[in-house]
C-alpha cells in the first residue's frame, strides 16, 4: 500500500536563506510521526508547507509532497482549499490567539463544516456540539455559544482540535500543540489527540521539541537540525541508542527520571553554541557545535546512512559510544 | 452571557452618565455665550434702524434679557426641567418648534453622509489593504490624501461648478423642488437628487479617514494567528477577509465614526450654508449672527444629546461586534 504522505527532497527557500533543505520522510495511514528539533530547525515551516500555507516570502524551491498519491505542489489554489480542513487539518501552537476573538466557538467549528460539507447553519451547530463532546468539553450545548476569551488555554486547544477533526481528516498536523499549555493539561490534550487518532484513523504529524512527548506518543521520530533530517528512528531505539551527536546532546540535555521517580541530581549537559552557527556552514550543519567533529566534517554535508529501513542517521561516526547511561524513562 | 443582557448593561451605564454631562454642557455654554458682546435686542434694534433707548429697554424687559445672569440661567434651567427650550425673540416662536422644523433635514444629511463615508471608506480601505504596496493602493492613497486635505466648502463649490453649472445633472442647492406636488416614491427620488451633492461634500473628508483606518486595521489583523487558522480551514481569501479580518478591523472604525458624529455636525454648518440646505447648521449660523442665544443654546443642547446618543450607539455596536467588551 502506498504511504499516505510522502515528502521527497523538500527544500523551502526564503530570498536569503534555506530554512528546510532536502527533507524526505513518509508516513502511513493512522501513524504518528514526531518531528523533533529546536527552534529554527525548520519543523514549523515543514508543517506549513504541507498545508501550502507558507508565509509569502517563503516558497518550496524543490521537492515533492505527495498526499494520497497527489502532488500538493502541483494543485491549484482551489484544489488545495478543498483539501485544507477536510483531508489535511492543522492545529497550532498558540490556542490563545489562534481562535477568532469575535466569533463564538460553535460558529468557528461550524464554519469548516459549512465550507466542506455544505451543512446548513442549524446542522453545523448540532455537529459543533457533538464535536465539543468528542473533545470532552463539559456542557457542550452551553459552551457552543461561548467566545474564546471565556475559555481556558486547554479548552481552547480542545476547540482547535474539534475544528481540525470536524471533517475526519486523513492527516492531522499538530504544530507544538501543547507548548503553550500547563504541564497538567499537556498530557490530557495529547491523550485526547491519540484517542481521536485511533477513533478517526488519522495520521498525525506531531511537531514538538519535547522529547517526553515523543517517547510517549510517537510511532516514529524524525530529528531535524538546521533544516535537515539528521536522524530517524523508532522512539525506543532513539532513546536507548541515539546515533547522531545532536540527538545525543538533546537527550543528555533533557531531565529524566532515575528509578522512575527521582530526578537525577546531576547537572544537565548543554549543547554548546547555537543553531545560528549552521548558517553558511558548507559541511555538516552541526559541525560547529559537535564534540566529535573531525576535519572531514567540513568538506561536505554528510549523507543519510540507512542502517535499517527504520533507522537513518546523517553522521558517519556513530560507533556505539554510549553517552547516555540510563534507559529512556523521560519525565513529562 | 447572552447578547441582550450585555447590551442592556452597556445602555444603562451610558444613560446614567448622560444626565450630568448634559447639565454641565448647558451651564458651560450658557456662560460662554454671555461672554459674547451684544444681545438679540441690540441686533433687532440695529436692523429696525429707528430704535430708541426706551424701545430697546422694552425689548430686553420683554425677553427677560435685563435680569441678572444667574437669574436668567435659573429661568432657563427651570424651563428645561419642564422640557421647554424657551422662546426665540428673533423668530417669534418656541425654540423647540424651530428646531423640530430643521432637525430632520440635518439628520438625514448627516446619516446619508455617514453612510456614504463608512461604506465607501471600508470598501476602498479593504481594496487598499488587499493590494497593499501595489499600484491600486498607491493610487487610492493619493486620492485619500487629497480628500483629506481639501476643505469641504471648496469641494462643495467645485461639485456645484461641475455637476450643476457645467453638466446640469444635479441641483445646486435647496432640499426639494419648490412647489412640487410629488408624492410617494417620486418625491423621495426628487429629495435624493438634492441630497447627492451636499452629502458627498460632507462625506469625502470622512471617506479618506475611514479608508486609511480600514487599511491599517486590516493589515494589522491580517497577520494574526486566527487568520492563518481560517485559511487552514479551507476558506477562500474572500471568505477569510469578510468573515474574519473585516469584523475585527471594524472595531476601531466604529470608534472613530462615533467620535466623528459631533464633528460632522460642525461640518454640516459649512455644507448647509454652501448648498442653502434648510438644516440645523444654518439655523445655528443665523442664531449666532442674530445673537439669538436661546436658539443657540437649544441647538447646542440638542447637538450634545446627539453626540451622547451616537456614543451610546457606538457602545452598543461595540458590544455586538466584540464579545469581550460587554463582559467587563
Which pLDDT score is estimated for B282? Answer: 83
Residue A302 belongs to a domain: yes
CA A299 vs. chain centroid, Å, equals 31
Residue A312 belongs to a domain: yes
Which pLDDT score is estimated for A323? Answer: 45
* CB-CB under 8 Å, B228 with A53: yes
Which pLDDT score is estimated for A321? Answer: 47
Q: What residues contact residue A203 under an 8 Å CB cut-off, 6+ apart?
A: A4, A5, A27, A28, A29, A30, A31, A32, A33, A170, A171, A172, A197
Residue A116 belongs to a domain: no
Which residues from A are below 8 Å from B230, CB to CB? 100, 111
Name the residue with higher pLDDT: A126 or B78. A126
Mutation for A interface: B134, B231, B234, most A CBs within 10 A: B234
For chain B, what are the domain ranges? 98-289
Domain that holds residue A331: 242-332
The answer to whether the beta carbons of residues B73 and B30 sit under 8 Å apart is yes
Query: Which residue is closest to B233 within chain A, CA to CA?
Result: A85
- Among the partner residues A85, A149, A150, nearest to B233 by beta-carbon distance: A85
Which residues from A are below 8 Å from B324, CB to CB? 101-102, 147, 149
* CB-CB under 8 Å, A147 with B233: no
H or E stretch covering A192: helix A183-200
What is the DSSP secondary-structure string of B20-37?
Answer: HHHHHHHHHHHHHHHHSS
The pTM score is 0.77
On the question of pLDDT at B189 being above 90, the answer is no
Please give the C-alpha separations between residue B81 and each of A218, A296, B86, B303, in angstroms, as whole numbers. 77, 96, 11, 18
> In the predicted model, what is the mean pLDDT of residues B163-183?
76
Residue A272 belongs to a domain: yes
Query: Which residue is closest to B226 within chain A, CA to CA?
Result: A98
- C-alpha–C-alpha distance, residues A246 and A223, integer Å: 9
* CB-CB under 8 Å, A94 with B232: no
CA B154 vs. chain centroid, Å, equals 19
pLDDT digits (tens, 9 = 90+) for A71-122: 999 999 899 999 999 999 999 888 888 999 989 999 999 999 999 999 888 9
> In DSSP terms, which residues pair with A223 in a beta bridge?
A36, A231
Which pLDDT score is estimated for A331? Answer: 42
- Among the partner residues B233, B251, B324, nearest to A84 by beta-carbon distance: B233
> How many domains is chain A partitioned into structurally?
1
On the question of pLDDT at A7 being above 80, the answer is yes
Residue A254 belongs to a domain: yes
Please give the C-alpha separations between residue B106 and each of B87, B109, B282, in angstroms, as whole numbers. 21, 5, 9
- C-alpha–C-alpha distance, residues A128 and B324, integer Å: 22
On the question of pLDDT at B199 being above 50, the answer is yes
Name the residue with higher pLDDT: A116 or A292. A116
* CATH class of the region B98-289: mainly alpha
Here the ipTM equals 0.85
For CA atoms A135, A141, A147, A150, the dihedral sign is negative
Distance from CA of B70 to the nearest CA of A (A): 51
Which pLDDT score is estimated for B3? Answer: 65
Which pLDDT score is estimated for A265? Answer: 60
Tell me the three state secondary structure of residue A166: coil
Residue A263 belongs to a domain: yes
Strands B87-88 and A311-313: what pairing?
unpaired
pLDDT digits (tens, 9 = 90+) for B6-61: 677 777 887 888 888 888 888 888 888 888 777 777 777 777 777 777 777 877 77
Gap between the terminal Cα atoms of chain B: 11
Which residues from A are below 8 Å from B229, CB to CB? 92, 98-100, 160, 163
Amino acid at each position: 500500500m502506498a504511504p499516505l504522505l510522502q515528502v521527497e527532497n523538500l527544500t523551502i527557500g526564503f530570498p536569503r536563506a534555506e530554512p528546510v533543505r532536502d527533507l524526505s520522510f513518509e508516513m502511513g495511514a493512522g501513524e504518528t510521526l514526531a518531528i523533533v528539533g529546536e527552534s529554527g530547525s525548520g519543523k514549523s515551516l515543514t508543517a506549513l508547507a504541507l498545508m501550502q500555507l507558507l508565509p509569502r516570502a517563503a516558497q518550496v524551491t524543490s521537492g515533492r509532497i505527495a498526499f494520497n498519491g497527489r502532488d500538493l505542489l502541483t494543485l491549484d489554489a482551489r484544489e488545495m482549499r478543498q483539501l485544507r480542513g477536510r483531508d489535511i487539518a492543522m492545529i497550532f501552537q498558540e490556542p490563545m490567539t489562534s481562535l477568532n476573538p469575535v466569533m463564538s466557538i460553535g460558529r468557528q467549528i461550524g464554519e469548516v463544516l459549512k465550507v466542506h460539507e455544505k451543512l446548513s447553519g442549524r446542522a453545523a451547530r448540532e455537529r459543533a456540539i457533538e464535536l465539543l463532546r468528542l473533545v470532552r468539553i463539559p456542557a457542550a450545548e452551553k459552551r457552543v455559544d461561548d467566545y474564546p476569551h471565556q475559555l481556558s488555554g486547554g479548552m481552547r486547544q480542545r476547540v482547535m482540535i474539534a475544528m481540525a477533526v470536524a471533517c475526519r481528516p486523513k492527516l492531522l498536523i499538530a504544530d507544538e500543540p501543547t507548548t503553550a499549555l500547563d504541564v497538567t493539561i499537556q498530557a490530557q490534550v495529547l491523550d485526547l489527540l491519540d484517542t481521536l487518532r485511533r477513533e478517526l484513523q488519522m495520521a498525525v504529524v506531531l511537531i514538538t521539541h519535547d522529547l517526553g512527548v515523543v517517547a510517549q506518543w510517537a510511532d516514529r521520530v524524525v530529528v531535524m537540525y538546521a533544516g535537515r533530517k539528521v536522524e530517524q528512528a523508532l522512539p525506543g531505539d532513539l532513546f536507548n541508542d541515539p546515533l547522531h551527536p545532536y540527538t545525543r546532546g538533546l537527550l543528555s540535555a533533557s531531565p529524566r527520571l532515575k528509578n522512575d521517580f527521582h530526578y537525577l541530581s546531576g547537572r544537565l549537559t548543554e549543547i554548546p553554541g547555537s543553531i545560528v552557527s549552521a548558517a553558511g556552514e558548507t559541511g555538516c550543519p552541526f559541525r560547529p557545535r559537535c564534540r566529535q567533529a573531525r576535519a572531514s566534517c567540513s568538506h561536505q554535508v554528510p549523507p543519510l546512512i540507512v542502517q535499517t529501513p527504520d533507522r537513518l542517521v546523517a553522521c558517519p561516526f556513530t560507533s556505539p559510544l554510549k553517552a547516555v547511561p540510563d534507559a529512556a524513562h523521560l519525565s513529562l | 452571557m447572552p447578547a441582550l443582557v450585555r447590551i442592556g448593561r452597556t445602555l444603562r451605564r451610558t444613560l446614567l452618565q448622560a444626565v450630568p454631562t448634559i447639565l454641565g454642557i448647558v451651564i458651560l455654554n450658557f456662560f460662554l455665550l454671555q461672554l459674547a458682546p451684544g444681545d438679540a435686542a441690540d441686533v433687532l434694534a440695529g436692523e429696525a434702524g429707528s430704535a430708541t433707548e426706551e424701545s430697546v429697554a422694552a425689548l430686553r424687559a420683554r425677553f427677560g434679557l435685563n435680569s441678572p445672569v444667574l437669574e436668567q440661567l435659573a429661568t432657563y434651567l427651570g424651563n428645561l426641567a419642564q422640557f421647554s427650550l424657551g422662546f426665540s425673540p428673533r423668530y417669534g416662536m418656541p425654540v423647540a418648534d424651530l428646531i423640530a422644523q430643521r432637525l430632520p433635514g440635518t439628520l438625514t444629511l448627516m446619516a446619508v453622509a455617514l453612510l456614504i463615508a463608512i461604506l465607501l471608506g471600508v470598501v476602498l480601505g479593504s481594496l487598499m489593504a488587499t493590494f497593499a504596496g501595489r499600484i491600486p493602493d498607491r493610487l487610492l492613497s493619493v486620492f485619500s490624501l487629497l480628500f483629506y486635505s481639501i476643505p469641504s466648502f471648496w469641494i462643495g463649490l467645485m461639485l456645484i461648478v461641475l455637476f450643476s453649472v457645467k453638466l446640469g445633472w444635479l441641483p445646486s442647492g435647496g432640499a426639494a423642488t419648490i412647489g412640487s406636488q410629488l408624492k410617494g416614491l417620486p418625491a423621495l427620488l426628487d429629495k435624493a437628487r438634492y441630497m447627492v451633492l451636499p452629502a458627498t461634500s460632507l462625506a469625502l473628508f470622512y471617506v479618506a479617514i475611514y479608508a486609511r483606518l480600514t487599511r491599517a486595521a486590516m493589515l494589522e489583523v491580517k497577520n494574526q494567528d486566527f487568520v492563518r487558522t481560517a485559511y487552514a480551514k479551507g476558506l477562500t481569501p474572500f471568505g477569510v477577509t469578510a468573515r474574519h479580518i473585516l469584523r475585527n478591523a471594524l472595531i476601531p472604525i466604529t470608534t472613530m465614526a462615533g467620535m466623528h458624529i459631533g464633528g460632522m455636525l460642525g461640518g454640516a454648518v459649512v455644507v448647509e450654508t454652501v448648498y442653502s440646505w434648510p438644516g440645523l447648521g444654518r439655523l445655528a449660523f443665523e442664531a449666532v449672527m442674530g445673537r439669538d442665544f436661546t436658539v443657540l443654546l437649544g441647538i447646542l443642547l440638542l447637538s450634545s444629546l446627539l453626540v451622547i446618543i451616537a456614543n451610546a450607539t457606538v457602545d452598543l455596536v461595540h458590544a455586538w461586534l466584540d464579545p469581550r467588551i460587554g463582559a467587563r
